[in-house]
RNA sequence: GACGCCGUGGCUGAAAGGUGAAGCAGUGGGCUGCAAACCCACGGAUGCAUGUUCGAGUCAUGCCGGCGUCUCCA
């Protein structure tokens, strides 16, 4: 079985064959930087990041380009409203985009070109189109002559006549056809402008992607991707420009992601129903949000609701709990830190049937929903091993490799899905080593203070929380040994109220901070071994 | 109007024409001092109607309902 991709161009699943053996060259249309990005942008970025990672995990060398549109009407208008230079506005939102991506754990593209850095390339391309009779200049503007490109409409599967019938475009007398689009716009006073053979002006929107994609990926490359709203006119126009200029096929596979909706309606600025990435990450963990965004096919709509993110946060906790449980196994009964946690890939990686199932799912047009189900299957099987072997697994060398292999597999597959499953390694200590120097009530007081307002720095807060939770676990264990259930339960209730979940096993007690609400606690896990 | 997408259990959502995933929620049991977590078991779904087929969630036709694009948009 090999990878098949749905291409908008053919409206069918196509076997993927790279243009150059062993390499994948992909271009995605990035954002126009005039405002903060919302969940819809996050979905698009995430989906194509997963595509990129799947190619990489399949052994391809990937060159990934994602542009910034940093000059356009919206940027100019917004900057004017705010009374700041247009390029300062663009710079601000490029930074914001990068911060958002970093917060989501989505990598940078290999190349992130800006339109304004490629004006000469665009002018050359426009000149070529003029030479080939596909464009015409009028009063300092240059338009693409749609009628001169016979294949116009092949991506959006509409004829020029269809498009004109439904067009809501205002009539411009200077255009030969209402569908003709601007390659170059004469600039008005006060607007950003560059010198060109047609006078001072600025590029049209579509030309930048044609110019930059061919510069960095060649005239023909593998994958061109973006939101489905870009199919027409943006991507249709790119094809007209690029294939018109080169006479060669442009992108070979066209991928388009579906919209994020809210109550069934498209998330959009104009509807006012958008949630910025920042707003979402202020409330939820990035992994929970990403789990939601990957829980359905990338081409279909995805409804965003807070309840849905919370549900995914719980599902995610199941994955993390299992990984933590495996991490704890090696810690044994000695009061020591696990040595460096588990580095993905550092463990023996025998063939695992789940990996094959994962690849079958991803080979089917990047079916992340099915791929995620494979992860949960691995966890259930692993938990079964854990519970059947019970605590004995900690000492039974026979079970450890299988469990560690499962954990390593989960982390590796999680990486492909852009899910960070590393988690915080558990802090393990032994009951005998924790000295109870103050009453439980004082420790509880400190816990409450730490949870509410925190310490001088996040690192301090985490360290102090770990310390006090450990102390409280020891107090509770002492009470349990005395069968003072009320005292033990009071400590558990207090910890629960502060956001920790307690789990008793035969040999240890674990306290894990619950991360469904992000405001909250650092992700910590403390284990007290009874001995 | 043109082009396209979607209707699967309580909710979210998978499914090579061949026993209808997975997650969340629910019920019962195991484990536990009691919990929690986990495991086991259980319950329940293909919008409607025809048709093709040995066999249809899947293919065809029609209908009903929802959505998108054709204008800047991920």
- A388: buried, middle or exposed (CB in 10 Å: 19+, 13-18, 0-12)? exposed
A74 touches strand B (CB under 7 A): yes
* Chain mean pLDDT for chain A: 89
Indicate whether A88 and A191 sit together in one domain. Answer: yes
Indicate whether A241 and A355 sit together in one domain. Answer: no
In angstroms, the CA A114 to CA A86 distance is: 14
As for how many domains chain A has, the answer is 3
On the question of a cis peptide bond just before residue A98, with omega within 30 degrees of 0, the verdict is: no
A410: in domain: yes
Q: What is the pLDDT, as a whole number, of residue A342?
A: 35
Q: pLDDT for A381-411, tens place per residue?
A: 999 988 876 555 455 556 788 899 999 999 9
Give the CATH number for residue A368. 1.20.120.640
Q: pLDDT for A113-153, tens place per residue?
A: 999 999 999 999 999 999 999 999 999 999 999 999 999 99
Residue A234 and residue A206 in contact, taking contact as beta carbons nearer than 8 Å: yes
A132 touches strand B (CB under 7 A): no
Indicate whether A133 and A40 sit together in one domain. Answer: yes
Indicate whether A202 and A216 sit together in one domain. Answer: yes
A211: in domain: yes
Indicate whether A229 and A339 sit together in one domain. Answer: no
Domain holding A466, by residue range, is 426-531
Is the pLDDT assigned to residue A339 strictly greater than 60?
A: no
Indicate whether A188 and A43 sit together in one domain. Answer: yes
Protein-to-nucleotide distance from the CA of A311 to the C1' of B25, whole angstroms: 10
Find the nucleotide nearest A375 (Cα to C1′). B22
In angstroms, the CA A122 to CA A164 distance is: 27
Q: pLDDT for A46-69, tens place per residue?
A: 999 999 999 999 999 999 999 999
A282: in domain: no
Residue A182 and residue A143 in contact, taking contact as beta carbons nearer than 8 Å: yes
Indicate whether A508 and A432 sit together in one domain. Answer: yes
Of A363, A395, A420, which residue sits at a domain end? A420
A480 touches strand B (CB under 7 A): yes
Q: What is the pLDDT, as a whole number, of residue A167?
A: 65
- A69: buried, middle or exposed (CB in 10 Å: 19+, 13-18, 0-12)? buried
A279: in domain: no
Using the C1' atom of nucleotide B22, identify the protein residue whose alpha carbon is closest: A373
Indicate whether A80 and A215 sit together in one domain. Answer: yes
In angstroms, the CA A436 to CA A55 distance is: 54
Give the CATH number for residue A164. 3.40.50.620
A31 touches strand B (CB under 7 A): yes
A298: in domain: no
Indicate whether A178 and A320 sit together in one domain. Answer: no
A293: in domain: no
Q: pLDDT for A216-264, tens place per residue?
A: 999 999 999 999 999 999 999 999 999 999 999 999 999 999 999 988 8
A106: in domain: yes
Indicate whether A509 and A381 sit together in one domain. Answer: no
Of A420, A447, A476, which residue sits at a domain end? A420
A268: in domain: no
Map residue A140 onto helix, strand or coil. Answer: coil
Q: What is the pLDDT, as a whole number, of residue A351?
A: 65
Compare A101 and A400 and report the one with higher pLDDT. Answer: A101
Of A404, A420, A436, which residue sits at a domain end? A420
User: Which residues are bridge partners to A282 per DSSP?
Assistant: none
Strand A23-28 to strand A12-15: parallel, antiparallel, or no bridges (unpaired)? unpaired
Indicate whether A56 and A143 sit together in one domain. Answer: yes
Is the pLDDT assigned to residue A155 strictly greater than 70?
A: yes
**Who among residues 279-318 of A has its Cβ near strand B, under 7 Å?**
295-297, 300-303, 308, 311-312, 314-315, 318
Give A422's pLDDT tier (boundaries 50, 70, 90). confident
Map residue A464 onto helix, strand or coil. Answer: helix
Indicate whether A377 and A495 sit together in one domain. Answer: no
Angle A309-A315-A321 from CA coordinates, rounded to 5°: 130
In angstroms, the CA A475 to CA A452 distance is: 22
């Amino acid at each position: 079985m090999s990878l098949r991709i749905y291409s908008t161009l053919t409206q069918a699943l196509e076997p993927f064959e790279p243009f150059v053996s062993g390499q994948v060259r992909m271009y995605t249309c990035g954002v126009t930087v005039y405002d903060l990005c919302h969940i819809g942008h996050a979905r698009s970025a995430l989906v194509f990041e997963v595509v990129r990672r799947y190619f990489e995990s399949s052994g391809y060398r990937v060159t990934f380009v994602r542009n910034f549109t940093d000059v356009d009407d919206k940027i100019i208008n917004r900057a004017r409203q705010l009374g700041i230079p247009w390029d300062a506005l663009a710079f601000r939102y490029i930074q914001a985009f990068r911060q958002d991506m970093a917060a989501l754990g989505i990598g940078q593209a290999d190349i992130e070109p800006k339109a304004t850095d490629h004006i000469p390339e665009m002018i050359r391309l426009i000149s070529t189109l003029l030479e080939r009779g596909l464009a015409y200049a009028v009063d300092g503007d240059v338009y693409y002559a749609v009628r001169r490109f016979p294949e116009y409409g092949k991506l959006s599967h509409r004829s020029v006549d269809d498009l004109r019938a439904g067009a809501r475009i205002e009539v411009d007398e200077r255009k030969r056809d209402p569908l003709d689009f601007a390659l170059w716009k004469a600039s008005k006073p006060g607007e950003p402008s560059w010198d060109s053979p047609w006078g001072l002006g600025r590029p049209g929107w579509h030309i930048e992607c044609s110019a930059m994609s061919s510069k960095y990926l060649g005239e023909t490359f593998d994958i061109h991707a973006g939101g489905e709203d870009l199919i027409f006119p943006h991507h249709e126009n790119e094809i007209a420009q690029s294939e018109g200029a080169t006479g060669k096929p442009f992108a070979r596979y066209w991928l388009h992601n579906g919209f994020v909706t809210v109550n069934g309606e498209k998330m959009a600025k104009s509807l006012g129903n958008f949630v910025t990435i920042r707003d979402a990450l202020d409330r939820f963990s990035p992994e929970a949000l990403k789990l939601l965004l990957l829980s359905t096919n990338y081409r279909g709509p995805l409804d965003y609701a807070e309840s849905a993110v919370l549900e995914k946060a719980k599902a995610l906790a199941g994955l993390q709990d299992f990984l933590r449980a495996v991490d704890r196994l090696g810690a044994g009964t000695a009061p020591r830190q696990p040595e460096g946690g588990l580095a993905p890939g550092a463990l023996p990686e025998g063939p695992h049937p789940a990996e094959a199932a994962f690849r079958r799912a991803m080979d089917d047009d990047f079916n992340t929903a099915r791929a995620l189900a494979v992860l949960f299957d691995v966890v259930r099987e692993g938990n079964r091993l854990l519970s059947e072997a019970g605590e004995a697994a900690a000492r039974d060398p026979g079970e450890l490799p299988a469990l560690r292999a499962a954990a390593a597999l989960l982390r590796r597959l999680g990486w492909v899905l852009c899910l960070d499953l590393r988690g915080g390694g558990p802090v393990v200590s032994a009951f005998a080593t924790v000295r109870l120097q103050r009453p439980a009530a004082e420790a509880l007081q400190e816990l409450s203070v730490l949870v509410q307002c925190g310490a001088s720095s996040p690192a301090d807060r985490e360290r102090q929380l770990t310390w006090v939770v450990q102390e409280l676990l020891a107090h509770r264990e002492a009470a349990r040994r005395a069968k003072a259930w009320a005292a033990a339960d009071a400590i558990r209730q207090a910890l629960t109220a502060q956001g920790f979940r307690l789990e008793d096993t035969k040999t240890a007690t674990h306290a894990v901070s619950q991360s469904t609400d992000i405001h909250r606690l650092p992700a910590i896990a403390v284990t007290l071994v009874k001995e």
